[in-house]
Amino acid sequence: MKRTLYSELLKWKSSVNRKPLLLQGARQVGKTWLLNEFGENEFSRVAYFNFEESPKLIPLFENDMNPLSLIESLQIMDGEMIDPEKTMIFFDEIQAAPKALTSLKYFYEKAPQFHIVAAGSLLGVKVGKSSGFPVGKVNFLDLYPMSFYEYLSAAGEDLLVKKLLSVKYPDKIDSPIHELLLKQLRFYFVLGGMPEVVKNYMERKNINEARKIQRDILDAYKRDFSKYSAPSESIRISEVWDSIPAHLSKENKKFKFSEIRKGGRSSRYESAIEWLKNAGLINLSHNIKTPKIPMTGYRDLSKFKVFIFDTGLLSALTEVPAEMVLQGSMLFSEYNGAFTENFVAQELVCSGSKKELFYWTSRSDAEVDFMLQWENGITPVEVKSGMSRRLKSLHVFDEKYSPDILFRISPRNFTKDNKFINIPLYAVPSIFSWPFKQK
């Protein structure tokens, strides 16, 4: 399966300022597969060390942090020589060996000739607890579930991806191709982008079997809640996690602590939300009332939305019948468009490196679903799950702030009317390559 992050790995390998690489991401998004694939393709061999599978490796890092001494010991454990130019050293599940994480600092400072990559489940959570984290001594990359374009490629639809990447905006996609893309998107809404789920479906063509894998993944996350947090905290994490579909099914999708359980307060659940965010399992979108740069300075920390990082897992959590993919575009509007807005949030994060999401509300009933910040401007993005042409919130925003462009994302085809632009749901990444300049 092709992953777009592969090109970033190639840049890392050829960089003259290369540091040890830390690949971050939630459990089961494909970190191990991607790094092994990269190592096998781009190096003579991979020296693979998994600290969970082989805990006997951990003591090697307890006493001696000298990189050359460590290399000598690792060679003995691996049974083969490690060539600094031809071998990629891969530390997997590195969160199980905090001293190995610390050692990356010394490899950068004293032995930068070695190509070292590391990955670990729930690494973001463990980093916060590690005093020896090598700040400034590693390169970071984030891996997310497979995007819709990556899903299309896995489905053997590279020509569709090529078509989307070559569209001369605002030319429309031919109607039969447009309908085919919407059909594929419905499947993606149910299957999502977890590599094991996608691979299984592409091989077996059985949505119910893929759904079982999704439930297994969700069960694994529940076990992680207990494994990586105190018992009382794991209960709160589960409560927040289980409440997300209900919040997204509401029209405004705003997250309310009081709706997790009666009398719920932020003081009880804030740390649970932070845990899920650090684990890479949720994407947060904060409210802003004033669209100014930088938006982080104008966010209201008490008002936010919580999206699940994979729309397929959201469909499994809500137990949406898999056969809904056959029922036309109704799936897009199900649960007040919960899947559609969650999908757009996911695509914005993984396709545009927009880790922080924002939405705008006015004192009236107007609300714009997403706000995108560029170097010298802010663009509003409205999301529509159906074919409605209503643009009330965008018009309110336009009257107040007069941006250069107004984006709507919907099941409709590409259209452009003066500064109003409609982006089809399946083409969210095209927002980041749209040929416009902020004034």
CATH number at residue 11: 3.40.50.300
Q: How many domains does the chain have?
A: 2
pLDDT at 130 over 60: no
User: Based on the domain organization, do 93 and 193 belong to the same domain?
Assistant: no
The verdict on residue 175 lying in a domain is yes
Which of 98, 114, 142 is a domain's end point? 142
Asked if residue 439 is part of any domain, the answer here is no
Q: What is the DSSP string of 276-309?
A: HHHTTSEEEEEEESS--SSGGGGEEEEEEEEEES
Do 250 and 120 fall into the same domain?
no
Pair 268, 340 in one domain: yes
Instruction: Copy the structure tokens of residue 292.
Output: 């100014």
Residues 225 and 129 in one domain: no
55 occurs within a structural domain: yes
Say yes or no to pLDDT of 176 above 60. Answer: yes
Q: What is the pLDDT of residue 438?
A: 41
185 in any annotated domain: yes
Pair (194, 160) in one structural domain:
yes
pLDDT confidence of residue 365: 76
Are 354 and 243 part of one and the same domain? yes
Q: Out of 126, 142, 158, pick the residue that ends a domain.
A: 142
C-alpha span between 295 and 304 (Å, rounded) = 14
Is pLDDT at 437 greater than 50 in this prediction? Answer: no
Residue 190 counted as domain residue: yes
pLDDT in tens, 56-102: 999 999 988 999 999 999 999 999 999 999 999 999 999 889 999 99
pLDDT score at 439: 39
pLDDT value, residue 184? 95
Q: Which of 120, 142, 164 is the last residue of a domain?
A: 142
Angstrom distance (rounded) from CA 181 to CA 173: 10
- In a domain, residue 1? The reply is no
Predicted local confidence at residue 334, as pLDDT: 76
- How confident is the model over 311-362, as pLDDT tens digits? 999 999 998 887 776 676 677 877 778 899 999 999 999 986 567 899 999 8
Is residue 322 in some structural domain?
A: yes
Are 74 and 160 contained in the same domain? no
74 and 179 both lie in a single domain: no
Tokens 């509300």: give the residue.
Answer: 361
Nearest to 362 by CA among 392, 320, 324: 392
Full domain range(s) for residue 17: 6-142
Pair (323, 233) in one structural domain: yes
Residue 266 has pLDDT above 50, yes or no: yes
- Alpha-carbon distance of 139 to 80, in angstroms, equals 27
Q: Are 110 and 195 contained in the same domain? A: no
Residues 130 and 162 in one domain: no
| Per-residue pLDDT tens digits for 23-51 | 999 999 999 999 999 999 999 999 999 99
Residue 438 included in any domain:
no
Per-residue pLDDT of 255-265, as tens digits, reads: 999 989 877 88
| pLDDT number for residue 80 | 96
| Residue carrying the six token digits 């740069």 | 293
State the pLDDT at residue 353.
56
Cα(first)–Cα(last) distance of the chain, in Å?
A: 40
Count of beta carbons in the 10 Å neighbourhood of residue 439:
8
Q: Are 147 and 350 in contact (CB under 8 A)?
A: yes
**pLDDT of 126 above 60:** no
Q: Are 222 and 356 in a shared domain?
A: yes
